[in-house]
Structure 1
Amino acid sequence: MASTGYTAMRTPVTNKGLAFSEEERKQLGLRGLVPAAVTSIEFETERAMAAIRRKTSPIEKYIFMQNMQNTNEDVYYRMLIDHTPELMPIVYTPTVGQGCQEFSHNYAQQPRGLFISVNDIGHVAEILDNWPEKDIRAICFTDGERILGLGDQGANGMGIPIGKLSLYTACAGVPPQMCLPVVLDCGTNNEEYLADPFYIGLRQKRVRGELFEQLVEEFMNAAKAKYGEKVLLQFEDFGNSTAFNLLRKFQNTHCTFNDDIQGTASVVLGGLMAAVPLSGKPISEQTFLFLGAGEAGTGIAELIAQAIAQETGKTVEESRKQIWLVDSRGLIVDSRKESLQHHKLLFAHDAPACPDLLSAIEQIKPTALIGVCTIAKAFSKEVCQKMCENNERPIIFALSNPTSKAECTAEEAYTFTDGKCIFASGSPFDPVVYNGKRYVPGQGNNSYVFPGIGLGIVAAGLTHVDDEVMIIAAKTLAGLTTPADLETGCVYPPLSNIRHVSLKIAKAVAEYAYEQGFATVPKPDDLEQFLADFMYNP
């Protein structure tokens, strides 16, 4: 341990608080800097949990966790690992949304990631040199343009990469010192922030086009040059107009994925696969209707098409015909092709126009309805009941975040469908008792897949990430949902098992990479044990 004395106490990675032993206090020059009581990390975690439970609002708890991360990382991660179901909604969705909105007003004055702006073009490599940790394996970065369902958050979007990488560590054991959160600050079109004297980011309208692309490219190449070809560069919450193009541009040259497009798709596909015993129909015999055709919607749709193609031997093009999308102008059909964005074209099928969701359900007769539109109450009583007309067990996934943007609540879904639907949501909902039966709504949280994928990538040294990785993660996740989970209508394993889930996904991803020859770490004899040993465990 390099830090001693006061520095050791002020450094989150080395600080143990009262858990420093008597011997450590002597050796590190800590006597007098800490009170006489000698405890343990377990006891300090209990103390911290007691303190956070005294907080009355989610945002107060979020700030408490932020402060803990900035003072004692071991206790912060022990809290998250031991109390995942309780604290994940605090450090990530839904509370992280408010955390971003208030990021400038609650700015902690301590570096917890890098802010790289368009004014830094030509100097990105120097900025990376300023980060103290040199063995970086996982970078999560955003331009803040489309944070959750909240729109342009500019530099306030830093809350998302920080929260995301915290979950890489808590849920999958990716060592925290190997993680780096980054904001590419290109300005913001959020007028409220531009007028806010406390706003921490560039006070200018969002830069697009050539300068934006130049910054992203310089960052991607500088990170790869500094940390090597196997550094994971995870795109997060970029706008629809740039996310798909950036993924296509860098997917084959860098170790990268976009969690909004691919991670969301993987976790939803996993939930749909787990739902097969309940619905009685394999994926290949289902018809899917999406409300929302942005990053998440088209990403999920494309992965489902690939899964159908694998299951049936059909082409992906043919498989897409079982998948329909509704956007703000109604059902996406052939007759609208001239005006459609590129990512929607693949799902424009030959059918009469439908102006709204209800008429689309009537015409398409889907077995599964998936909401990714960030419009609260979009799945009305009428919509849910219409789904029941053609299905004994309709699948209804209301995936928009945060909770205030969910297409319907769990209680509404079960009530409107008389308890028949197979429900999952993006944000957490409490169990629902309807007609004497207890239903546990599954949370289609990306945290089920991206940490495990990240662990596999980092530990085995993958040099790229293809769509098959996402399908493998989905299949592994589905296989970990038990009959007991399904009995309550839950299509995901309990969040309390998340590290076990992540380990199994990491193993499956790494095995595939070794088979295909793009894992650079020599293959260990016992892959699962190797991964378990790699995992950080405070």
Structure 2
Amino acid sequence: MTAIDPPYLQLDNGEQIPIRVRGYQLLNRPMLNRGTAFTHDERRALGLIGLLPPGYASLEAQVRRVYSQYQEQPTNLAKNVFLTHMRDRNEVLFYRLLAEHLEEMLPIVYTPTIGEAIEQYSQWYSRPRGVYLSIDRPEEMEEALKNYGLGPDEVDIVVVTDSEGILGIGDQGVGGIAITTGKLSVYTAAAGIHPRRCVPVVLDVGTDNLRLLNDENYVGERHARVRGDRYDEFLDLFVKTVARLYPNALLHFEDFAAANAHRLLTQYRDELCTFNDDIQGTASVVLAAVLAAVQRTGGRMRDQRVVVHGAGTAGAGIAEVMRDVMVQEGLSREEANDRFWALGSRGLLVEGNRMRDFQEPFARGADEVAGWASDNGRIGLEEVVRQARPTTLIGTSAQPGSFTEAIVREMHKHAPRPIIMPLSNPTPLSEAKPEDILAWTDGQALIATGSPFAPVVRGTTRYRIAQANNALVFPGLGLGVSVSKASRVTDGMVIAAARAVASLMEDAVAPGDSLLPSVNQLRTVSATVAVAVCRTAEEEGLARADLGDPIQAVIEQMWQPNYARVVLG
């Protein structure tokens, strides 16, 4: 994507694009190239005679061919690489294929396979995609962003990472660019954000990953990760530059480490339209699952007793948004905080012990836990479950198997329909397997997981396991922000997104029904979320667009992966 790519024009009779380049220059533009789908007349007009095989293939025929090639790839990583190369050749075809096989391919272009691709980024590097900003050359930042070729009114989403908290694999240096391109692929496939209105960015501030620093193929800056004032100044310059260059864009922070994620969100969320998916997106989709579960049990959110195992960036964000719903249901903030027992790396959070600022609201009083069993002052999960008698157990700990049989059975003693959500991913980090949880609770547990799991059959019941995939929320939220031109992303919008997702499961009442919609429904889910976000933006006075009918506005803005009508430029 370069500055000379022409703008798409959305007309009443469909999308059209003026094409000014000819010949091989055209075939080398992934948003313009359509390969054998160029008609003979188009080939003659565009200087392509002799540069393509003579046969014509429709977009549908191309999808069948590339899907067959995809199926022949031997591993998930090979499939990821295949799709990446295909996107670099023909972007419309890539998105059409992805849209038609979304449930199958989402784990390939996004979590968990994207983690493998990021680890191997420098080994597989072939073509740059995105904007690479180096902390060693901050004076080049504006030039670099402008070189991407998009103007102030041409950007809806900027996804940025500093690569320190990539999925469950930590610091990956410049390879983190792949998480931003993967995220934007989901924005497009799920919510119809036009691929030409997205900017993926990696902030290369160095890396503490010794494997990368000693790899001769590594393509990032070769020094330790920069921290402190210099890091903050670089981040501040970036945020202010994005706000100036792209005043209507949503700035999406992705995979920043816990030490920075909450801090940066708190610092900038009231200054510009910014969103952290690891905090707000995770919280929203988990809230949606909990709302659906509570609805199924006939209870209320304010009555839940919640244990959060792993109160880091994601876990604390989940607790915060659940607490806000409890407050909406009539509890005071203090009363709502008292419904949570949160565990960090040193066990239960207890007042007076060391913890991060964002964890403090959920710390228990020292007097309250004075008689609880501990190991050198560390109160573990099993003791917390025994004492707190939770109705809901959230796992964001990255501690595989930590939801043991003893813990789950103890919880089930006091919660007839326990809500249990082992959310850590990728799959090997999950706190428990759904089939085990169902066995230990006689099939009564209401489950959502972070990674995809196959359905579990018990007797005559087939349990579909809900995957609390952020893709159910963030694409629609981004679309809603784009359509409404919201000046901020608020807690109200995050909760509205969760309620919108949960509303789609109101008719799911059978014992084995999932708590969340299928990934195959992502376009519908995203549109539903976007409408809810638009309405909330209007209610909160943050919408800068005159929406009229939000449903129509959302549907009109959702890009479809079809070849646009060619207009000679």
Contact 1:155/1:200 (8 A) holds in 2? yes
1:533 aligns with 2:556: yes
- Secondary structure at the aligned position of 1:297 is classed as helix
* Structure 1 position 308, deviation (Å): 0.5
CA distance in 2, matches of 1:412, 1:100: 31
Query: Cα 1:3–1:487, aligned 2, differ >3 Å: closer, same or farther?
Result: farther
Match for residue 119 of structure 2?
Answer: 101
The amino acid across from 2:362 in the alignment is F
Contact 1:485/1:492 (8 A) holds in 2? no
CA distance in 2, matches of 1:115, 1:518: 32
Match for residue 464 of structure 2?
Answer: 440
- Secondary structure at the aligned position of 1:483 is classed as coil
Equivalent in 170, 182, 186 of residue 151 of structure 1 = 170
Percent of aligned positions that are identical: 38
* Structure 1 position 480, deviation (Å): 0.6
Equivalent in 360, 363, 366 of residue 345 of structure 1 = 360
* Structure 1 position 335, deviation (Å): 4.3
Q: Which moved more, 1:440-449 or 1:6-15?
A: 6-15
* CA displacement 1:437-458 (0-9 Å, x = unmatched): 2111000000000000000111
- Secondary structure at the aligned position of 2:457 is classed as strand
Contact 1:430/1:441 (8 A) holds in 2? yes
Match for residue 280 of structure 2?
Answer: 262
* Structure 1 position 56, deviation (Å): 2.1
- Secondary structure at the aligned position of 1:55 is classed as coil
Match for residue 121 of structure 1?
Answer: 138
* CA displacement 1:170-216 (0-9 Å, x = unmatched): 00000000001100011111111111111111111110011111111
Equivalent in 411, 416, 425 of residue 392 of structure 1 = 416
Equivalent in 333, 342, 365 of residue 325 of structure 1 = 342
- Secondary structure at the aligned position of 1:369 is classed as strand
The structure with the largest helix share of the pair is 1
Match for residue 365 of structure 1?
Answer: 389
Match for residue 449 of structure 1?
Answer: 473
CA distance in 2, matches of 1:447, 1:316: 29
The amino acid across from 2:415 in the alignment is N
* Structure 1 position 279, deviation (Å): 2.8
CA distance in 2, matches of 1:404, 1:202: 31
The amino acid across from 2:300 in the alignment is P
Q: Which moved more, 1:432-441 or 1:137-146?
A: 432-441
Match for residue 512 of structure 1?
Answer: 536
* Structure 1 position 104, deviation (Å): 1.0
* CA displacement 1:445-472 (0-9 Å, x = unmatched): 0000000000011122111111110000
CA distance in 2, matches of 1:341, 1:528: 41
* Structure 1 position 517, deviation (Å): 2.3
Q: 5 Å matches for 1:270-419? A: 270-312=288-330, 314-336=331-353, 339-350=354-365, 351-352=368-369, 354=374, 355-419=379-443
CA distance in 2, matches of 1:411, 1:52: 31
- Secondary structure at the aligned position of 2:121 is classed as coil
Match for residue 215 of structure 2?
Answer: 196
Match for residue 474 of structure 1?
Answer: 498
Q: Note the residue ranges of structure 2 that are not aligned, 5 or more in a row.
A: 1-18, 562-569
Contact 2:270/2:488 (8 A) holds in 1? yes
Match for residue 180 of structure 1?
Answer: 199
* Structure 1 position 159, deviation (Å): 1.4
1:65 aligns with 2:83: yes
* Structure 1 position 122, deviation (Å): 2.5
* Structure 1 position 374, deviation (Å): 0.9
Q: Note the residue ranges of structure 1 that are not aligned, 5 or more in a row.
A: none
Query: Cα 1:8–1:482, aligned 2, differ >3 Å: closer, same or farther?
Result: farther
Contact 1:330/1:356 (8 A) holds in 2? yes
CA distance in 1, matches of 2:434, 2:294: 20
Q: CA RMSD in A?
A: 1.3
1:231 aligns with 2:249: yes
CA distance in 2, matches of 1:489, 1:378: 25
CA distance in 1, matches of 2:120, 2:410: 40
Query: Cα 1:155–1:485, aligned 2, differ >3 Å: closer, same or farther?
Result: farther
Contact 1:271/1:491 (8 A) holds in 2? yes
CA distance in 2, matches of 1:508, 1:400: 28
The amino acid across from 1:529 in the alignment is Q
* Structure 1 position 81, deviation (Å): 1.0
Q: Which moved more, 1:499-508 or 1:18-27?
A: 18-27
CA distance in 2, matches of 1:489, 1:530: 32
* Structure 1 position 239, deviation (Å): 0.8
* Structure 1 position 515, deviation (Å): 2.5
- Secondary structure at the aligned position of 1:66 is classed as helix
* Structure 1 position 99, deviation (Å): 0.9
Contact 1:121/1:214 (8 A) holds in 2? no
* Structure 1 position 522, deviation (Å): 2.2
Match for residue 30 of structure 1?
Answer: 48
CA distance in 2, matches of 1:23, 1:207: 55
Q: 5 Å matches for 1:200-219? A: 200-219=219-238
Match for residue 11 of structure 2?
Answer: none
CA distance in 2, matches of 1:458, 1:64: 31
* Structure 1 position 489, deviation (Å): 3.5
CA distance in 1, matches of 2:525, 2:515: 14
Contact 1:278/1:486 (8 A) holds in 2? no
Contact 1:507/1:528 (8 A) holds in 2? yes
The amino acid across from 1:67 in the alignment is H
CA distance in 1, matches of 2:86, 2:210: 32
* CA displacement 1:131-190 (0-9 Å, x = unmatched): 123312200000000111111111111111111111000000000000011000111111
CA distance in 1, matches of 2:260, 2:397: 18
* CA displacement 1:97-143 (0-9 Å, x = unmatched): 111111111112x2210110111223211111111233122000000
Q: Which moved more, 1:198-207 or 1:407-416?
A: 407-416
The amino acid across from 1:154 in the alignment is G
Aligned pair count reads 532
* CA displacement 1:49-77 (0-9 Å, x = unmatched): 11111112110111011111111111111
CA distance in 2, matches of 1:454, 1:62: 24
Match for residue 11 of structure 1?
Answer: 29
CA distance in 2, matches of 1:347, 1:308: 14
* Structure 1 position 508, deviation (Å): 1.0
* Structure 1 position 516, deviation (Å): 2.3
CA distance in 1, matches of 2:197, 2:57: 28
CA distance in 2, matches of 1:445, 1:407: 16
